[in-house]
Chain A
């Protein structure tokens, strides 16, 4: 009897992971990327920066590449790429330089925005890589309460009253607080598993040979 129920339940779990959870995880991260792309346009408009500038195009194309190839961001190929790049330091340096050169700007405010934007996009993709891998997702879930407790202790150590205010503030928005703790936990897992710096290199490897940058694409 128990053996029969075990078989049925494991099959149901496999179906739930494949048909439901993975789809929701993908949609959730794509939502975040769409929001990020909307923020890009908004910031450019607010600051009077040109929406036809090469930098806007590059950042938009980068996000479009992430959006189109989100599913391709799998943990194991990424770790393999990371190891290959670690062996070839010259290539790694050349890639890093070419990216830094491509996303360089003279305006200090624009430069700061670009750096933050690239970082945010990378964080989303790292989050996806962690969440789409069942063992790492489980690990992140397990350590999320520990990360939240550490943050609370850290806040308290900065000053009892200020810390208490911070904790109350965070607890008042429980959903956002849980989400932040989970994101931090995912990040904590990510920095131990791979080098987050290589996300852009990976996206360009995927985008190689695929057209995601049509000037007036009709969909999304």
Chain B
């Protein structure tokens, strides 16, 4: 297989895989939307059964809060704390990455070849 044939085959492969990736992306998106819709349905179904069990109540969410166990409360508080910690840690990490990028640039300043990755200075994919 010569260079031109190899190029042609690579382009074919590229087109085929790109096509598949697009289809899979669309399928995944569809699954996510269907999953969210199913969960919203389950939530409302659950709420309506709670209200149905006590028909004199007007506020279903108040009933849910009332019925939630201590374990559930603790779990949600821990999850909230973890999320806060994650946001705080991520902010610090992005700041550190920006500093590191500056140091890297000054270190590689005189290099004859210093091609970059094309990412932003905090290491994110450019939008």
A residues sitting closer than 8 Å to B (CB atoms) are 1-8, 10-12, 14, 16, 20, 23-24, 27, 30-31, 34, 38, 41, 51-52, 56-57, 60-61, 63-64, 67-68, 71-72, 74, 76-77, 80-81, 84-85, 88, 90-91, 94-95, 98, 204-205, 208-209, 211-220
| List of B residues within 8 angstroms of A12 by Cβ | 79
Q: B13 on the interface (CB 8 Å rule)?
A: yes
Q: Flag if B24 contacts A217 (CB, 8 Å).
A: no
B residues sitting closer than 8 Å to A (CB atoms) are 1, 5-6, 9-11, 13-14, 16-17, 20-21, 24, 32, 35-36, 39-43, 45-47, 49-50, 64, 67-68, 72, 79, 83, 86, 90, 93, 100-101, 104, 108, 111-121, 123, 125-126
Q: What CA separation (Å) do A213 and B9 show in the bound complex?
A: 23
User: What's the minimum C-beta distance from A209 to chain B, rounded to whole angstroms?
Assistant: 8
| Residue from the list B14, B24, B32, B113 in contact with A60, Cβ < 8 A | B113
Q: Flag if B64 contacts A4 (CB, 8 Å).
A: yes
| List of A residues within 8 angstroms of B16 by Cβ | 84
- Mostly, the B contact residues are helix
Q: What CA separation (Å) do A84 and B123 show in the bound complex?
A: 33
Across chains A and B, the number of contacting residue pairs, with CB separation under 8 Å, is 157
- Mostly, the A contact residues are helix
| List of A residues within 8 angstroms of B116 by Cβ | 64, 214, 216-220
User: What's the minimum C-beta distance from A54 to chain B, rounded to whole angstroms?
Assistant: 10
| List of A residues within 8 angstroms of B20 by Cβ | 76-77, 80
| List of B residues within 8 angstroms of A205 by Cβ | 10, 13-14, 17
Known: A68-B118, A212-B115, A220-B101. 9 other contacts (CB 8 A): A1-B46, A4-B50, A6-B42, A11-B39, A41-B108, A64-B116, A68-B117, A95-B10, A219-B101
| Given A90-B1, A212-B118, A7 and B24 contact (CB-CB distance below 8 Å) | no
| Residue from the list A88, A204, A216, A220 in contact with B120, Cβ < 8 A | A220
User: What's the minimum C-beta distance from B121 to chain A, rounded to whole angstroms?
Assistant: 6
| List of B residues within 8 angstroms of A63 by Cβ | 117
| List of B residues within 8 angstroms of A90 by Cβ | 1
A31, A71, A205 — most chain B CB neighbours (10 Å):
A205
